[in-house]
Homo-oligomer: A and B are copies of this chain.
């Protein structure tokens, strides 16, 4: 069975779990009516099912390659991209002034997730362009906007992000790329960037690089960094791609997976670029781009989780092995309890991760529509959780998908292993999941935990409301929220940041566990009588939610016991 976009699940979560109707009630997003939402999801789903999903294996079997400096993409990718661009799927959130649809991020997140599920390698391409569009909308001059945005929004041109250098990874401030003023308003960019996803392609007229570099007089560290737009071909007076810029793809990385997506080493040799935002203020613009990219990468994990789940489910419903252990079984391995357990974990986790990501997207939309600081704080709080839990879920679910297949899971032609190899990178790029966790316990709690406490209040209020009808589900969710609140207060009381960092990763995982219970409970409450969503919620709340206890015990163990083991002790 090939991948089918779970259109109804998005619709259900948007309508009944994360409250998209609040977004549609704003002036800004008045067009996002239920009819419009349904049409977008259905149409995008059809494109993913029929055009993108068939490209998934080709990207793995025939990786993008560099031939005499020219990038050759995987077979079929050019046609697949054309379908994405022509459908408008690069830019449904973009400003209508430049050709976008101006629709909510909640829809973009849903569509991005489907595209990731169908073909992760190719989907990464428009995801990068989306981030660039957003950065330019917020920070570029009117001239740059007018010149570049229509081409990016239409998908004729592509966008990339250039942050990392070999000695500047998580520590972006260590970068060495330089920018020198040319005297005509442009700058000459010189340096080498690594890990540039889709640093080039053979199906867009132009590729626009957003490059972090240091201007003369720029302070060391992140404070002295500026952002530049550096196109592959410099637009001529008509805005058409003109002369080739002084930049090149040096080489492609040989990666564990995601072979259809070329990961480039980019060389800039005095390439012409234009400043985006103010001098020495590039990190602010980059953060705009990164925050939404982080939600996007979370969605990549969730998309792959969905695809790996469907793939394993189809296998389990087909493979016969041993006698059925249950009456009226199907006779396939789905009857076996341990296989059924794995599949149900996969479904329950995917739902939880999806609800977290879509709730984050709704918060972004409400922030956009209302400019209310509470929504901004909620979006900021949920972003690292959506990224890290979404990608961890992608890896966990793809790993279970391999296991459901037994020996076949380890054989590449089955496709289960590819999901695991492909999705593994999502926990690393766009800020490793460790960086996300540190962001959560440091920057995102700088409001003295106000946003986090507000979210816990909401969880507990919903649990209270559910107590009469679903006491066996409401009570554990309420209790878990209280345990999380204690851990949160422990974090807030820890003044040494390293005390927080020592438990940041399990704290984020525990937070996500509790949020999962919250959204599953909402789903169960949306059913008139106990059906599949209630059964799934009960499965999650009974069997997976209890993990929050161990995670939060770990989260609040502090740094002292951690550093008690010296590097020498570890080496012994």
Contact = CB atoms under 8 A, between A and B. Distances in A.
B561 A550 contact: no
Interface in A404-450: 406-407, 409-413, 417, 420-421, 424-425, 427-429, 432-434, 437-438
Contact of A407 (B428, B433, B569): B428
Interface string A376-413: 00000000000000000001000100110011011111
Given A424-B410, A539-B565, A557-B543, A341 B502 contact: yes
A87 interface: no
Looking at chain A, what size class is its interface with the partner chain?
A: 35 or more
Contact of A406 (B169, B174, B320, B571): B169
Contacts of A564: 535, 538-539
Contact of A554 (B8, B543, B570): B543
Contact of A549 (B195, B412, B413, B549): B549
Interface in A550-572: 550-551, 553-554, 557, 559, 561-567, 569-572
Contact of A428 (B409, B434, B543, B553): B409
A293 B451 CA distance: 53
Given A313-B570, A340-B562, A407-B164, A546 B554 contact: yes
A131 to B, nearest CB: 18
Contacts of A542: 553-554, 557, 561
A569 B334 CA distance: 12
Contacts of A548: 550
B338 A532 contact: no
Contact of A498 (B326, B565, B572): B326
Interface stretch (A97-105, A139-147, A248-256): A248-256
Nearest to A536: B565
A167 B347 CA distance: 27
A498 B340 CA distance: 11
A458 interface: no
A343 interface: yes
A411 B253 contact: yes
B169 A338 contact: no
Interface in A490-505: 497-498, 501-502, 504-505
A347 B195 CA distance: 30
Nearest to A426: B410
A456 B72 CA distance: 61
Contacts of A428: 402-403, 406-407, 409-410
Given A325-B498, A546-B549, A548-B550, A406 B338 contact: no
A327 to B, nearest CB: 10
A479 interface: no
Contacts of A434: 338-339, 342, 403
A322, A413, A427: which has the most chain B beta carbons within 10 Å? Answer: A322
B195 A498 contact: no
A414 B197 CA distance: 19
A246 to B, nearest CB: 26
Contacts of A501: 325, 336-338
Given A403-B427, A543-B557, A543-B561, 12 more contacts: A170-B406, A325-B498, A338-B504, A340-B562, A402-B424, A403-B434, A409-B428, A506-B543, A536-B569, A539-B564, A542-B557, A544-B554
10 contacts: A171-B321, A195-B407, A326-B498, A334-B570, A338-B434, A338-B501, A341-B505, A407-B428, A536-B569, A546-B554
